[in-house]
Structure 1
Amino acid sequence: MDFKNPLANELKECFSQQISDLELSEAIKCISSQPEGKYQYLSFSIQIPTVDALAVLEQSGDTSNFQYYWEKPSDKFAIAAAGSVERIQTTGKERFRESSDQGKELLSKVLHISNIDHHLAYVHLLGGFSFFDHNVGKEWRSFGAGSFNLPEWVLVRDSKFTALTVTKKIAFHDDPQDICNSFLATLDRLDSICDAGSYQVESKRSFESKVEVPGIDSEDYNQWVNSVESATELIKAAEFKKIVLARELRVKLHTPVSDTKILNHLRHQYPDCYSFLIRQDGKSSFIGSTPERLASFQEREVLTEGLAGSISRGKTASEDAVLEHELLHSKKDLSEHAFVLDAIEENLQRYSDIFEHPVSPGIKKLSNVQHLYTPVHARIKEGVSRTEVLSRLHPTPAVGGYPRNLAMPYINKLEHFDRGWYAAPVGWINANGEGEFVVAIRSGLIKNNEVRFFAGCGIVEDSNPQKEWDETNLKFIPMLTALKHARK
């Protein structure tokens, strides 16, 4: 049996190498006749030529269903995925644990076949969590408080290696030829969107919306000053030591805007950041380019980081060096950074056999801002789940406050918008036990004819409302600039 497209022939080869050289339809017949309930999903992975993950997603076209994108260009790592075969949804205080339990149960029902031996040629679960335990705001309703999708297809590129995994739901006694045809239909579509030679490129036209940041004479500024002053008074009264307050900036759109075009600008401007897109349905997409990794997992090894305290970049080398020196000696920023490291240590050390980090922070430089930065390495104890680690780390003092349990209740009282998934953990995990999650800052929600961007900063006892306002404006720049460069 030979097929017209290359990916379909790869599928045939994949099955034939794994199942006694059976023809494709015979292989599927063999699988679908397994005891009822043993396997509910059939998945296969093949290696394909290197492609641009964002371009593949852009060419896939169907924005009415689940879509996912993840890329850190400096690591030469990217993921693109679309279609939802199954979706896990959780809410409440136990949402991390329940997501883990449901994820393990789901993966146990997937029969995965591959003709390649590579740690990324596996089934992936893609998604994340909201900032708070419950997420009921109308703008974020489709995202829920915890959501992970098993995609119909996922493409993972790691340097020069690219794996494509396709998954289908199967039922006991399904007709093997129908299953075969379903795989082939997906492969026909993927064959063209993975081939740059067949791409249709749209002509550019100007983006019409005018983007402005509110000034100090605005109502937004007055609300901000009141919030910061209230927070500093609470700190002086010993209610907590630090709280992170954020702002929402709404931009009305006169014409639709492409989320993939915004991301294309972000990934080129910020190659050391994690650019991401999560679309749950056709109504909204959550995008961003964050510098902050929450945790990456490989077996029992966990990498996380403290990222708190920031200052602008200089226009000259000398000015940049002066600003870096100022940040490294800023009592306010060093104090804010110390809260983050203390919290990470408190939340991870008792779960870890090894916990280590440099004594003093260094600097992470982005194109428009520089941050105090301390990498942290831990080796978690046997039996500790990855989602348990996530639940202990989120939210860090860099996006929540310190102590966490004392500061968190005040965020909703002092802010004037619904955080949704802003500053929450988003990422991926695969059936091989590997995964990575970031803190979804430098982000925005695109919905209908409006974009909502978010930016926050840490408030401590000596915080100045004007300076904190300026810092949030600085953090809005990446997303606003990317929006200006977007074309539809």
Structure 2
Amino acid sequence: MDLYLKIATQIKQFFGHDAIDLPLFLEGKILRIEVPIPNIEPLNWLARQQSDVKTYWSDRQGRFIMAGIGTVDTISSSSPISYPSVFGQIRQNLSSLFPNVRYYGGIGFSQDRWIDPSWKLFGNYRFVVPRFEIWTDGVGTFFACNCLGNFRSEQWDRDLDLILDELIQLDLTPLEIVIDPPVQIDRSDTPDLHEWERNINLALAKFADLKLEKIVLARKSILTFTKDLQPQLLLLLLQPNNHPSYHFCFQIDATTAFIGTSPERLYYRHDRLLKTEAIAGTRHRGASIQSDIQLSEELRSSLKDVREHQLVVDNLKLILAQLCQSVKIDRETAILKLNKVQHLYTQCQGILTPDITDTDILPQLHPTPAVGGVPRTQALKLIQELEPFERGWYAAPVGWVGADDAEFAVAIRSGLVDRNRLLLFAGAGIVTGSQSEEEWIEIENKIRHFTDLFTPVNSPTVTGHRSHIER
């Protein structure tokens, strides 16, 4: 049977017959039809669709991958987030009878700053349920259609007609896309190296007065290309060399998207089980096995990096003690090896105290010392004073929320697609003893998974920048 016909038949069956038996409490909630399909690679499929609104999420091990287009429901605002209100709306719209319905999205790093025009469409928070999804759980591949539970109103038949009209516009072939990397023509950094050195020195000078132990300062690098970028194609270029990492794309309109390959979990919750982790301290990967091991040992023995990592671990201990009735933290610090860099890594988990929800968890964990600093309040205030740009969703929570579970990553190793520009963001943890040029090079290593994709053409700005770093 033709795949389109198979899916359309299942949707008609649900609307015409299955919905009759649905319990009344599902009225107004989000319902879901799932159809097993032959293997279609989700990101390739997403890149071929014509919808302006696209959503992509892959967990760190690639066990769950979802590509979605369109929206059934959107919860968003440019006003500061009210966690009880937002998570209350999400809980109200979801049901455990449809456990695979999820809201995907994110929250701005800072809720009390002006929103830069580049981030305007994202607002301070935005969560969506896609209309159509292709998803895989490592066992099978499925097509899903989400819809509002208007099954006891006249709107129900109109919803079916609308869905079938949208369905026929989809490309359901399993074709792969041939990708030509975009041509980069310019690059600029904010702050530049001179301003970066000044900011580091200003921050370190205030450590004693503010009782700071650590602050994370970030840089924005703007790459300009010959034509508008296609966000999913960029993510396809990034994927092969960036595991284990979360991969995400939140495309808001035809020319604007936030993409990334973050290695860092903020938290995963299944019922009352909470998992989180500490990632801080960085070295680049070695060119050989021997040099890679040497760099790992150098990282383990670095007083600066160990202290930076321990600040994150100690902070998590305090937070988990407030949220959980039991806590388990790895005794030994591991090394998380990524394609371009490696980090100190400690896993943490706990059993949540009854009545603790995502409303309580998210504002406690975000921002972590790995992207903000210690103490949090003083570090965030100084970040606002020193950083000459708006972080937007960079280093903020991105992920999904379901009826009984949730998962958020920290949106590092990320970039904002704005027509023919790619705005890259990365930060460095500053502690006593930090050197500005070393931290600049660390940031350069962190964005290499993006910058290595492109060959700059006729760009004095880029050439000059690279020659300085390599010196």
Same fold (TM over 0.5): yes
1:57 match: 46
Question: Structure 1 residues 467 and 184 mapped into 2: Cα distance closer, same or farther (>3 Å)?
Answer: same
Name stretches of at least 5 consecutive residues in structure 2 with no aligned partner. 457-471
Matches within 5 A, 1:9-24: 9-12=9-12, 15=14, 24=15
Residue identity in the other structure for 2:65: A
Indicate whether 1:463 and 2:434 are aligned. yes
Distance in 1 separating the partners of 2:176 and 2:434:
51
1:20 match: none
Indicate whether 1:477 and 2:448 are aligned. yes
Please report the TM-score for the alignment, with normalisation by the length of structure 1. 0.86
1:25 match: 16
Alpha-carbon distance, 1:7 to partner: 1.1
- Secondary structure of 1:315's match? coil
1:150 to 125, 129, 151: 129
Name stretches of at least 5 consecutive residues in structure 1 with no aligned partner. 16-23, 114-118
2:420 to 444, 449, 462: 449
Matches within 5 A, 1:216-365: 220-365=192-337
Distance in 2 separating the partners of 1:72 and 1:142:
25
Question: Structure 1 residues 168 and 93 mapped into 2: Cα distance closer, same or farther (>3 Å)?
Answer: closer
Distance in 1 separating the partners of 2:435 and 2:144:
51
2:462 match: none
Alpha-carbon distance, 1:213 to partner: 7.3
Contact 2:121–2:252 (CA under 8 A) maintained in structure 1 = yes
- Secondary structure of 1:417's match? coil
Alpha-carbon distance, 1:261 to partner: 1.5
Alpha-carbon distance, 1:476 to partner: 1.4
Distance in 2 separating the partners of 1:90 and 1:275:
24
Matches within 5 A, 1:82-101: 82-90=69-77, 95-101=82-88
Indicate whether 1:387 and 2:359 are aligned. yes
Distance in 2 separating the partners of 1:130 and 1:409:
16
Greater shift in the superposed pair: 353-362 or 331-340: 353-362
Alpha-carbon distance, 1:44 to partner: 2.2
Distance in 1 separating the partners of 2:49 and 2:221:
30
Q: Deviations over 1:352-407 (max 9, x none)?
A: 02211122311011111110000111111111002321111000000000011121
Contact 1:312–1:474 (CA under 8 A) maintained in structure 2 = yes
Alpha-carbon distance, 1:211 to partner: 5.7
Contact 1:400–1:408 (CA under 8 A) maintained in structure 2 = yes
1:440 match: 411
2:163 to 183, 186, 190: 183
Residue identity in the other structure for 2:37: I
Question: Structure 1 residues 4 and 50 mapped into 2: Cα distance closer, same or farther (>3 Å)?
Answer: closer
Q: Deviations over 1:49-105 (max 9, x none)?
A: 332110121122222xx2111124633321111111221125666532321111112
Indicate whether 1:371 and 2:343 are aligned. yes
Distance in 2 separating the partners of 1:316 and 1:33:
61
Question: Structure 1 residues 394 and 205 mapped into 2: Cα distance closer, same or farther (>3 Å)?
Answer: closer
Question: Structure 1 residues 148 and 279 mapped into 2: Cα distance closer, same or farther (>3 Å)?
Answer: same
Q: Deviations over 1:171-200 (max 9, x none)?
A: 56425543332333344345x42x31xx48
Question: Structure 1 residues 386 and 103 mapped into 2: Cα distance closer, same or farther (>3 Å)?
Answer: same
Contact 1:262–1:483 (CA under 8 A) maintained in structure 2 = no
Question: Structure 1 residues 394 and 73 mapped into 2: Cα distance closer, same or farther (>3 Å)?
Answer: closer
Q: Deviations over 1:282-302 (max 9, x none)?
A: 331000111101111111111
Distance in 2 separating the partners of 1:368 and 1:317:
14
Indicate whether 1:167 and 2:146 are aligned. yes
1:131 to 102, 106, 109: 109
Distance in 2 separating the partners of 1:361 and 1:185:
54
Distance in 2 separating the partners of 1:459 and 1:201:
42
Indicate whether 1:43 and 2:15 are aligned. no
Contact 2:57–2:248 (CA under 8 A) maintained in structure 1 = yes
Distance in 2 separating the partners of 1:219 and 1:154:
40
Indicate whether 1:209 and 2:184 are aligned. yes
Residue identity in the other structure for 2:40: V
- Secondary structure of 1:280's match? strand
Greater shift in the superposed pair: 166-175 or 227-236: 166-175
2:63 match: 76
Contact 2:44–2:176 (CA under 8 A) maintained in structure 1 = no
Alpha-carbon distance, 1:220 to partner: 0.5
